[in-house]
Structure 1
């Protein structure tokens, strides 16, 4: 029996996108539609190319799955509706937000918001990776003006149904090993140079000097060129391979997810799966991921974070918390849970 054909559209290939492709390829015949949309000067060219590419293939596929809302989701959604093909758009975060103050969110750009609006209305179903992407309020940064976020807020008349399917993670990719002795009073955060403010890099920089007995590591970025003085206990690890990152997850004791907005929190789940004890901001679904296995910072405040770190450093149950962090992710955010929900949706 031949496999059902699916067209998978994506602008990029992050690990969570690759996971979805691998899941679908196991049960469906998947054709991937990809252009380097990050090259903005060529986006109009790719927009035209994609139209003819989708038009050529659309009659031969049963479903169209789009990862991220954006320019690339317009033709799949519109043509899918015209040719009565079910289109599912997986929403990851930036496609549900508009935060001009920190230069974040696709929906802050009028043309892109217009494109996303048409895509979301034309789709058969939206698949946010977090319930908070439908609607949430950001109170973590008191001065933030754009507090209301989510596709239901930005598109109040949207009637397209949605089903939340959380991202999933494999314990094989992020092992928990007792063979590595964790560094005491050590903290890790993962983000790129472009995400320095969004992910709380400025807050980590400020507290490092106040906690000389602790060591802070930032993976994914190099030291900013404009950072003249860097505390000796703040280390920038640069870009790491998955194997290198896994090593650091198992080497440090705590993990920071101090985001101003967080579509899901993949690095947070990876770190917890590796046994890191999480400290996160009270934003989107971060509190749900952390649950009772770490600490939540309610407001972006240097003093409150320092007090919280001093408090958690004194806890006697850190080894227990480490194991509970891993267990919590295995139970609630496993790759098998996402796989089963995606397959159930497409099978029906």
Structure 2
């Protein structure tokens, strides 16, 4: 018998959409999107939805998760939190991450303590949760994101284009995604297009004002348009100071972009031997690695690495297994 699941999240990202399709293939799933400006309405809808549900699954451990997990506990419903990354980040010098200050860290910590299961998308997040939030990891398990390689079969000719994709509506977010570094590297390779996708108008204007003529900066766009850039780009850069997984990095690799990334978080384990890992303290060294990537024949290797290590079928199997365990 299918379970009734409330899937709650702050933004309906592509990887959350994939989880929704996985869960709804076997269960009845109701989506609940959190909007901090509509908190009273969200609270009422949460109570209404959770009363009728069997399981609450919250993507990210934030205020939306805290509200829904507390409601689930009150009505004796099972609950799951998916740990995505920012909840355990503690980059205090740029005021980024829930673990960087007291109140946000408590908001992130309590759902992890109360949930019946906590699913981390990468093993590094389990370590960070124990260190930064000081929570027990007994109820935590790692289920990496999964990707549909069949949807990315493509033979579009690559262009001399270097790409990065990052949703950034604040400077701390832009800095943690390494967009300032990306802009500096663009100055050092003037004969190549550099493209940033996903930033707010304010961040876009600021980056363009200090960037070179070969730097293009765009706001969020439909996923179908983003994939067009994946198809054309030779190189994808992930210069993050902290990265829970790097979904866009893996997506780009599926489209045969040669990856260049920082040694932080999950990035090295995603790139492996299919690209370049470079420290972020030397712009010239980063530019050299990007040049090498532009001339490297590693696109097929990058694609095959994601297909082998992060199959969608494995995530589907493991997510459905957890639901079955909590439903029994």
Q: Hey, what does 1:334 align to over in structure 2?
A: 311
- The residue correspondences of 1:7-46 to structure 2 (distance < 5 A) are 7-37=6-36, 39=37, 42-43=38-39, 45-46=40-41
Aligned partners of 2:45, 2:112: CA distance in 1, in Å? 18
- Given candidates 252, 260, 267, the residue that maps to 1:286 is 267
1:65 CA displacement: 1.2
| Higher helix content, 1 or 2 | 2
State the alpha-carbon separation in 2 of the partners of residues 269 and 226 from structure 1: 25
Q: Deviations over 1:198-244 (max 9, x none)?
A: 21111122122222233212122363247435312222244332222
- Say if 1:88 and 1:123, in contact at 8 Å, map to a contact too: yes
Q: Is the 8 A contact 1:47 1:71 kept in 2?
A: no
Structure 2: runs of 5+ lacking an equivalent: none
- RMSD (Å) for aligned C-alpha atoms: 2.3
Cα deviation 1:148-205 (Å, max 9, x = unaligned): xx211123252541011111121244x2422x22113x21111234332221111122
| 8 Å contact kept, 1:50–1:75 | no
75-84 or 9-18, which moves further after superposition? 75-84
Pick from 225, 232, 235 the counterpart of residue 251 of structure 1: 232
**Is there any run of 5+ residues in structure 1 with no aligned partner, and where?**
136-149
Q: Distance in 2 between matches of 1:226 and 1:250?
A: 24
- Spell out the pairing of 1:311-326 with structure 2 (5 A cutoff): 311-315=292-296, 318=297, 321-326=298-303
| 159-168 or 245-254, which deviates more | 159-168
1:98 matched to 2:90: yes
- Partner of 1:163, secondary structure, is strand
Provide the rounded CA distance (Å) in 1 between the counterparts of 2:76 and 2:138: 15
Query: What is the DSSP-based 3-state SS (H/G/I as helix, E as strand, rest coil) of the residue aligned with 1:19?
Result: helix
CA 1:208–1:33: 2 relative to 1, 3 Å: closer
Q: TM-score, normalised by structure 1?
A: 0.84
Aligned partner of 2:133 in structure 1 is: 155
> Which structure is larger by alpha-carbon Rg, 1 or 2?
1
SS for the counterpart of 1:12 is coil
Q: Greater CA deviation, 296-305 or 71-80?
A: 71-80
Mapped partners of 2:87, 2:207: distance in 1: 30
- Once the two structures are superposed, residues 106-147 of structure 1 have per-residue CA deviations (whole angstroms, 9 ceiling, x without a partner) of 233422322322211111111011111122xxxxxxxxxxxx
The alpha-carbon distance between structure 1 residues 211 and 116, as it changes in their structure 2 partners (threshold 3 A), is closer
**Alignment: residue pair count:** 319
Matches for 1:180-199 after TM superposition, within 5 Å? 180-184=156-160, 186-194=161-169, 195-199=173-177
Q: 2:112 aligns with which of 120, 124, 127?
A: 120
